[in-house]
């Protein structure tokens, strides 16, 4: 008799991905400016550490909120006792108002349609449980966040079918790619229940166009399926607010009542506020049944009352949130520019982006061959020799070898500059070796070609000689 469940012993969690392997190597030898200056620099972690001073300043000016007090009186006991898993009304109100603010107040949200979850990971998994049965499928555009293989599939049994997006289209979603993915699912006898997108994209760092969003709405309308828009990076758009279009804005403009209940949004405070440790995520849906079911499921991963109380005070301070959003946007833009500039000095390009905490970096010219084996070879050199942990495109299910996700907001400017110095030195040396290798390869190829020609000539000569008549010799 087995002592453990199939779930405990299966290997479908996705932890063996190179995305997580890079983290493991970093944890064995983490960089520190003083204690370990030759260690691995973590560039595979999408954390926003650029505006902590704003948060810390607010906390110092609002000791009641930080000390769990109301009007100078402690409410610790009140917060420490059992709370309804629907969430604190004050926090839900502050949360939806903040969601509207980072979307330029072009759309508004109803607190009664919001379900609080322990981070976006929990939100996405909960939606899978609500919308699909084990063995049914969701379509996801590639490249996509490697953690989705764990978040969406591991416990739910839901399948992922990729929508193959390519660099020739700027990795945008096309109608042809959507139709092909849907057909692929049908060929595998999978019932498609919906499409899940990240907007802004992780790992691309780009915002979806209105054309893409309209295409998606039309597609789910025609197929009678759901759309989940994971918008946890909405607050990291650093070009200008007008460049980000929420799916809710498209719904409002089209007045799509027939799909209104089939579009669901995921939000979080982990990326823009830089609070992943607080575990605050949310589902927003106009389907009352989904909201009710998700609320019941949220009891397995609640946001603490203390966290809700503190953040409700912070997000209700409109003067603070307005200044924070503006300044954080400015800092992300500056840091992004610094990374792109550093990459350019190393003769490396990246996809043009306007959001997120990372860049989608093109290193195809550094591959020995146009294969994922060559991509892994390059990735290992960068992790083990250069000591930079970046995420290979294959871990994000990219269809083209040679792309990498590189994060820039989880370190100091000095550390980022050091990372770029290491990368430049590596590329200079590696390009020389690679060029020689290719040159030798071409030279060897020409030699082999000449050798094959010579062999054929010698063989032909011998063959002809043996077949000559005596008087021909």
Catalytic residues, by residue number, are 145, 230, 232, 271
Distance from C-alpha of 99 to C-alpha of 97, rounded to nearest angstrom: 5
Q: What angle do CA 375, 381, 386 make, to 5 degrees?
A: 130
Q: What angle do CA 390, 392, 398 make, to 5 degrees?
A: 145
Q: What is the DSSP string of 267-293?
A: EESSSSS--GGG--EEEEES-HHHHHH
Burial tier of 427 (Cβ tally within 10 Å: 0-12, 13-18, 19+)? buried
Distance from C-alpha of 353 to C-alpha of 69, rounded to nearest angstrom: 43
Give the C-alpha distances (Å, rounded to integers) separating 460 from 454, 456, 470, 471. Answer: 10, 6, 18, 19
Distance from C-alpha of 379 to C-alpha of 400, rounded to nearest angstrom: 14
> Taking the alpha carbons of 160, 161, 167, 173 in that order, is the dihedral positive or negative?
negative
Quick one: how many helices (H) and strands (E) in the chain?
16, 15
Give the C-alpha distances (Å, rounded to integers) separating 138 from 147, 313, 422. Answer: 15, 37, 40
φ and ψ at residue 345, rounded to 5 degrees? -65, -25
């Amino acid at each position: 008799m087995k002592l453990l469940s199939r779930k405990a012993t299966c290997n479908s969690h996705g932890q063996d991905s190179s995305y997580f392997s890079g983290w493991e190597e970093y944890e064995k030898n983490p960089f520190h400016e003083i204690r370990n200056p030759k260690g691995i620099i973590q560039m595979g972690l999408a954390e926003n550490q650029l505006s902590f001073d704003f948060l810390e300043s607010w906390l110092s000016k609002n000791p009641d909120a930080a000390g769990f007090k109301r009007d100078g009186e402690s409410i610790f006991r009140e917060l420490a006792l059992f709370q309804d898993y629907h969430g604190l009304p004050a926090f839900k109100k502050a949360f939806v108002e903040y969601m509207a603010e980072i979307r330029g107040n072009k759309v508004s949200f109803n607190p009664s349609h919001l379900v609080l979850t322990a981070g976006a990971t929990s939100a996405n998994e909960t939606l899978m449980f609500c919308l699909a049965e084990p063995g049914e499928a969701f379509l996801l555009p590639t490249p996509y966040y490697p953690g989705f293989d764990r978040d969406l599939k591991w416990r739910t049994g839901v399948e992922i079918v990729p929508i193959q997006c390519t660099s020739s289209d700027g990795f945008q979603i096309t109608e042809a790619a959507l139709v092909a993915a849907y057909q692929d699912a049908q060929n595998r006898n999978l019932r498609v229940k919906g499409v899940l997108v990240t907007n802004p994209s992780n790992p691309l760092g780009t915002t979806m166009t209105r054309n893409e969003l309209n295409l998606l709405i039309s597609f789910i309308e025609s197929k009678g399926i759901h759309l989940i828009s994971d918008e946890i990076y909405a607050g990291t758009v650093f070009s200008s607010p007008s460049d980000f279009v929420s799916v809710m804005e498209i719904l409002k403009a089209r007045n799509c009542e027939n799909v209104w209940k089939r579009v669901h949004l995921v939000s979080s405070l982990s990326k823009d506020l830089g609070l992943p440790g607080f575990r605050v995520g949310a589902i927003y849906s106009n389907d009352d049944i989904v909201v009710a079911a998700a609320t019941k499921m949220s009891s397995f991963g609640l946001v603490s009352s203390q966290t809700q109380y503190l953040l409700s005070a912070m997000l209700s301070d409109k003067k603070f949130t307005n200044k924070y959003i503006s300044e954080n946007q400015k800092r992300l833009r500056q840091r992004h520019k610094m990374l792109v500039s550093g990459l350019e000095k190393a003769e490396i390009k990246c996809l043009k982006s306007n959001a997120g905490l990372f860049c989608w970096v093109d290193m195809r010219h550094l591959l020995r061959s146009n294969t994922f084996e060559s991509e892994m070879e390059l990735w290992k050199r960068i992790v083990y020799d250069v000591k930079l942990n970046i995420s290979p495109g294959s871990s994000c299910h990219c269809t083209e070898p040679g792309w990498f996700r590189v994060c820039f907001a989880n370190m100091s400017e000095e550390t980022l500059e050091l990372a770029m110095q290491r990368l430049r030195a590596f590329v200079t040396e590696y390009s020389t070796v690679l060029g020689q290798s290719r040159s030798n390869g071409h030279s060897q190829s020409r030699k082999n070609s000449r050798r094959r020609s010579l062999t054929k000539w010698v063989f032909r000569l011998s063959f002809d000689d043996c077949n000559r008549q005596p008087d021909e010799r």
